[in-house]
Amino acid sequence: MGIQLFKASFDVEACLVQVRECLEKGWTGMGFKTVEFEEAWKKYTGHKYAYYINSNTAGLYMAVDTLKEFYGWEDGDEVISTPLTFISTNHAISKSNLRAVFADVDDTLCLAPKSVEEHITDKTRAVIFVGFGGNTGNFKKIVKLCKDYGLKLILDAAHMSGTRYKDGGCPGTDGDADITVYSFQAVKNLPTGDSGVICTDSAKLDEIFRKKAWLGISKDTYTRTVDKGGTYKWKYDVEYIGDKYNGNAIMAGIALAQLPYLDRDNAYRRTLAQWYTEVFSKYPEQIGLVKISSDCVSSRHLFQIFVKDRDGLMMYLNSNEVYPGVHYVANTDYCMYDYAKGTCPKADFVSKHVISLPMHMGVTFEDVQYITRLVVKYVMEIRSGESYKE
Ligand SMILES: *Cc1c(COP(=O)(O)O)cnc(C)c1O
């Protein structure tokens, strides 16, 4: 089996209780558990509105599309984003016929405020910030920048379920982001099968999301089904060319069963990160670490290091049954976005040298000792202690 990068862990019995309830009730679609989860998520995070959807990708697509329409942006207007992300983030911009403009990252691997500011033009309409690995990076500075320049701000919080500031607040709340989108995909910190949630402080935006995610129809099926008279349940209007992005009760049931474990799991992730860090911090020349912002209690979706020969280390670990990952290849290396290739040197460095080490509930202290021993042996002996820096 070896040690995998990710492995979801579930309270199987609690999940089955939730799923059974859906099956016995005869309601597996939108509504019921999805509404229950939305309430639970609002309470957990402090977001004013939350709409449960079938993925974070759907949420990002809808976020950009809705803002474009709502504020009357033109095709070709610009949204500043990061090259270091899963491709969904940047596709959300392109999908709406807007142009992704890439700013560079800083030592937190999140967008660098200075680089973002340098990329603002009279066509810039918004910024998408990715809380990389659960890190808040310099998000507060980006919030201020967006307010100063009158830009909209979308927070891609796919890695951030459970991330908080030290004062307890969740990033994106209190008007910091216009829209925050979480992922509950199978390997994220709150795993379901596939789902996510789109959050905002704006009642108007929330209302639009609920229509757009359901073909543009202005009433959801559950409301119509429980409509007491029932006489007019076939009557609805269609206001948009919508999509089919809604979440369903089965997934929401699993999310409800898992939510009570999120803080506990994230605390264990932080412990794993600390165990890794204790060993690697002895080799500052050979092993680079990601800077976690001082005001951030990170969900620690990822634990990453930089080494000189990342691909070599990857093969060496694989041959010892450890299976790390890479987050991410700079999106500007893909042909879709290569118009910006080479414009973000820090992101390019990360793309070449970063490796994500196993991070999940099944990784033990002994596993971390085993993995760190292998990494140290590789960089100190096999690669003779060469520096990771360029
Ligand atoms: C996983 C991920 C997404 C996409 O989430 P889905 O729920 O799988 O659509 C978007 N952005 C980032 C940064 C991610 O890691």
In the predicted structure, residue 301 carries a pLDDT above the cut 60: yes
List Cα–Cα distances, 320 to 140, 221, 324, 326, 384, in angstroms.
41, 52, 11, 18, 19
pLDDT (0 to 100) of residue 193 = 96
- For the chain, helix, strand, coil in percent to 5 are 40, 15, 40
> For residue 78, what is the enclosing H or E element?
strand 78-81
Please name the residue whose Cα sits nearest to atom 1 of ligand 1: 158
- Report d(CA 108, CA 132) in Å as an integer: 8
Q: For ligand 1, say whether the CB of 57 is within 6 Å of any of its atoms.
A: yes
Q: What is the pLDDT of residue 145?
A: 98
Query: Which sign does the torsion angle of CA 78, 79, 83, 87 carry?
Result: negative
CA–centroid distance, residue 58 to ligand 1 (Å): 10
Ligand 1 pocket: which of 57, 82, 179 to mutate (most atoms within 8 A of CB): 57
Beta strands in 244-313 (DSSP E): 288-289, 296-297, 303-306
Q: Is 85 in the pocket of ligand 1 (CB under 6 A)?
A: yes
Q: Is the dihedral of CA 70, 76, 78, 82 positive or negative?
A: positive
Split at pLDDT 50, 70, 90, the class of 224 is low
Phi then psi dihedrals of residue 118, to 5 deg: -65, -25
Q: How confident is the model at residue 234 (pLDDT cuts 50, 70, 90)?
A: confident
User: 171, 160 in Cβ contact below 8 A?
Assistant: yes
- Distance, in Å, from the CA atom of 47 to the CA atom of 2, rounded to the nearest integer, reads 39
Measured CA to CA, the distance from residue 69 to residue 50 in angstroms comes to 20
Is the pLDDT confidence value at 220 over 60? no
Best residue for ligand 1 mutational test, from 86, 90, 132, 254 (most atoms within 8 Å of Cβ) = 86
Banded model confidence at residue 368, pLDDT cuts 50, 70, 90 = very high
Nearest-atom number in ligand 1 for the CA of 184 is 7
Q: How far is the CA of 30 from the centre of ligand 1 (A)?
A: 21
For the chain, helix (H) and strand (E) counts, in that order, are 13, 14
C-beta 89 within 6 A of ligand 1: yes
Tell me if 185 CB under 6 Å of ligand 1. Answer: yes
